[in-house]
Amino acid sequence: MRLHVVAHGRIGRGPEADLVDRYLKRITWPLTLTELSDAGSGKVADLPSPAVTILLDERGTALTSRAFADRLAGWRDDGMREARFVIGPADGHGETARANAGLLLSFGPATWPHLLVRGMLAEQLYRATSLLAGHPYHRDG
C-alpha cells in the first residue's frame, strides 16, 4: 500500500523540513509527498481505487501508536492501494471533505502548526510501519 502525505503550504528549508525528511526517508513502504498551495478550498484530487483518505483534524479521533499501526494494517490487508493523509489549509478542512473522509485523525485537542503536524505525522507513519515490520523502534510502556 502506498502512503501519500498531502500538505497545504510549502515547508521550504529549515529544522522542520529536516525532521520530516528524517522520518520519511526511514519508511520502507512506497511513499509520496505532495505540497499544495495554502490558498483554496482544500479539494484533493481523486484517489486511485480502492483508497482511503485520512484528514488530520483536531476534532478527529486520537489513536495510540499501536492502534494507528493496526488501522494501517487493516487498510493494507483489505486491499487499499493508497492511504492519503491530508494536512489541510490554514482554515481547516471543509465540511464536505470531513464527511467524505475514511478517518479524521487527531494528534490531540490542541491546534498544531502545519509544519509540526507534518513532522508528527511522518514520525507516526515511521513508527506504525516499524511496528508492522516487527522493528524494535516502538516500545510499549
Report the half-sphere exposure of 141 (CA within 13 A, side-chain side). Answer: 2
What is the residue extent of each domain of the chain?
2-42+52-84+101-133
Q: Mean pLDDT, to the nearest integer, of 30-53?
A: 75
Check residue 74 and give its pLDDT. Answer: 97
Q: Is-contact 98 19, C-beta < 8 A? A: no
CA dist 91 to 66, 78, 83, 138, Å?
A: 30, 33, 23, 33
Collapsed DSSP state (helix, strand, coil) of residue 74: helix
**Over pLDDT 90: what percentage of the chain?**
62
Q: Which three cell numbers stand for residue 121?
A: 505525522
pTM score over 0.75: yes
Tens of pLDDT along 64-83?
999 999 999 999 999 999 99
pLDDT surpasses 90 at 63:
yes
Collapsed DSSP state (helix, strand, coil) of residue 90: coil
Q: Which three cell numbers stand for residue 2?
A: 502506498
| CATH superfamily label, 2-42+52-84+101-133 | SPOUT methyltransferase, trefoil knot domain (3.40.1280.10)
Tens of pLDDT along 87-121?
988 788 889 999 999 999 999 988 888 888 999 99
Strand 31-36: give its sheet, edge to edge: 31-36, 2-8, 82-87, 51-62, 103-106
